[in-house]
Structure 1
């Protein structure tokens, strides 16, 4: 098993075609086919099957692709770290951002690092907290924002802030950020909610119990964008961090207000792996991200948030 075989397997899986993979790898098609067949013979299993839609990994092939991609990423990181210019911090850093924070933090983080640390290659991933935590545990992220999480045997957690959750409604509802909405009032409307088991959904369900309110969940989704889209279309209300709807409220496409009776809060933390050394580039990016978060809270661009 060698690097060329791993690259061939990953590339064919990504593009679904030996011909296209050969073009991307700057090889002739028979060379790519030979690399895959040699690896299959070594492993004693088929890694791909031909379908009408192209080359599709088998069950064994999917496992191999996942592990090969991770191995290739680690080799890229090693190369970047051991070949720096004198006095320059270099490396590849993969950062996870909560979906609700990406509009506020992604561009400033890229701008800051491009200006101050051009030797760092930044990779950004956005998702809900549960997905980000799993990717961090699996080694696919170097650091990530998470919420409502304490340190675990595998993760170091640094508390950053607490933020209040808001009721989000169509613009015609006329919610006002200066007038909190009782939870019971929000619960009287059909609810577009994250899927059961999601951390944000758990906060909403717990608040409903405290308020003595039954929820009428009409749609469950794992996408904040879809939540807001369905609210705009009049299918119901939803609950999101104020940061996630600040732009929509400013544009007049949604209305929103903090929840009350009870208030509902979430804590945002920075998570990093507990095991292994922390590369200098990861430390640099972590400090830059923390500074951006603190500035957003102190300058008031992160609604209903308080530093911890």
Structure 2
């Protein structure tokens, strides 16, 4: 039994016909018939007397109607209280993020907060991974999206993001001409190309150099510009290569300014964590942003903006079943 069935039941009772209820609810008539049949099956009794004029409640239906109206009223009141709680959720929340994570999270977070929690003042502190770690350690942020777990902060593993090599659709460097046709490249082959790298303290640089050491090669690194988006612009012009997660590049792939080359043998991954700061009690505003980041990460993974393996599945949406299609089928 669910609230939709109760709503369909009460509307049908009020309208005196399934056809009229369908018009009132703007729902296909077969969908209402199916839900009412499911409800009667669950209750193991008929609720309506049916004739050519329509439907009327029988004795069991009249008894159930009283309970149905009470249940729906309680659901309405619960929702109203929750909405009021969301409106009362106020305060400033500071989130520390890398430029790549900010690229995929910030716009959605700000838009959703405007609708759900207009009283929350959200701001981002954007920097390299080691700087984000420092902000978290110094308690300068409330939450942080970071790339390792050291056991000192409370956090959750969001996803294991895939790292790929990105190249312009029209590379201008002759060295990249053949590479531009590759769909994948073994990690060992990266030693032959100069690749933009962030500061050596950055988690990405550390991960790549550690992997290079494991396979016995040395990567030719080219110092990246101060801002990731500046470096990516340089790459889109066909003048360089970069290894980053899809969160940094999805908009450029959609506009066909960059092309992804999968790194294989082995594939390269890094873990993405969402951490609380230990600086204070978790306020309702901080908790609301924390949950919304989890939800946004799941949505970004679902629409392929953040590629890899989703670990935190709390907000994974299940496929919706079209009742009308089932009935018609």
Question: What range describes the TM-score normalised by the shorter chain of this pair?
Answer: 0.5 to 0.7
Count how many residue pairs are aligned between Structure 1 and Structure 2: 222
Rg (Cα) greater in structure? 2
Verify the 8 A CA contact 2:109 2:296 in the aligned structure 1. Answer: yes
Verify the 8 A CA contact 2:90 2:119 in the aligned structure 1. Answer: yes
Alignment of 1:171 with 2:169, yes or no, is: yes
Instruction: Find the aligned partners of 1:273 and 1:285 in 2 and give their Cα distance.
Output: 13
Q: 2:283 aligns with which of 251, 254, 279?
A: 279
Instruction: Find the aligned partners of 2:215 and 2:257 in 1 and give their Cα distance.
Output: 28
- Where 2:154 maps in the other structure, the secondary structure is strand
Verify the 8 A CA contact 1:193 1:227 in the aligned structure 2. Answer: no
Q: Could you say which residue in structure 1 is the equivalent of 2:142?
A: 142
Instruction: Find the aligned partners of 2:264 and 2:310 in 1 and give their Cα distance.
Output: 17
1:160-182 deviation digits (Å, cap 9, x = unpaired): 110111112232356579x3321
251 and 227 in structure 1: CA distance in 2 versus 1, 3 angstrom threshold = same
Runs of at least 5 residues in structure 2 that lack an aligned partner in the other structure? 1-83, 171-176, 313-329
85 and 204 in structure 1: CA distance in 2 versus 1, 3 angstrom threshold = closer
Alignment of 1:257 with 2:261, yes or no, is: yes
Q: Could you say which residue in structure 1 is the equivalent of 2:157?
A: 159
Q: Could you say which residue in structure 1 is the equivalent of 2:106?
A: 106
151 and 304 in structure 1: CA distance in 2 versus 1, 3 angstrom threshold = same
Instruction: Find the aligned partners of 2:276 and 2:154 in 1 and give their Cα distance.
Output: 5
Structure 1 residue 258: Cα displacement: 2.2
Verify the 8 A CA contact 2:139 2:278 in the aligned structure 1. Answer: no
87 and 167 in structure 1: CA distance in 2 versus 1, 3 angstrom threshold = closer
Q: Could you say which residue in structure 1 is the equivalent of 2:62?
A: none
- Where 2:149 maps in the other structure, the secondary structure is coil
Structure 1 residue 88: Cα displacement: 0.8
1:158-208 deviation digits (Å, cap 9, x = unpaired): 11110111112232356579x332112222111211111211001110121
Q: Could you say which residue in structure 2 is the equivalent of 1:208?
A: 212
- Where 2:141 maps in the other structure, the secondary structure is coil
Give TM-score, length-normalised by structure 1. Answer: 0.65
Q: 2:274 aligns with which of 270, 273, 278?
A: 270
Instruction: Find the aligned partners of 2:219 and 2:97 in 1 and give their Cα distance.
Output: 29
Runs of at least 5 residues in structure 1 that lack an aligned partner in the other structure? 1-83
- Where 2:259 maps in the other structure, the secondary structure is strand
Give TM-score, length-normalised by structure 2. Answer: 0.61
Alignment of 1:116 with 2:120, yes or no, is: no
Instruction: Find the aligned partners of 2:104 and 2:121 in 1 and give their Cα distance.
Output: 20
Alignment of 1:130 with 2:130, yes or no, is: yes
Instruction: Find the aligned partners of 2:234 and 2:303 in 1 and give their Cα distance.
Output: 31
Structure 1 residue 219: Cα displacement: 2.3
- Where 2:201 maps in the other structure, the secondary structure is coil
Structure 1 residue 230: Cα displacement: 3.2
Structure 1 residue 283: Cα displacement: 0.8
Structure 1 residue 268: Cα displacement: 0.5
180 and 305 in structure 1: CA distance in 2 versus 1, 3 angstrom threshold = farther
- Where 2:193 maps in the other structure, the secondary structure is coil
Q: Could you say which residue in structure 2 is the equivalent of 1:239?
A: 243
186 and 246 in structure 1: CA distance in 2 versus 1, 3 angstrom threshold = farther
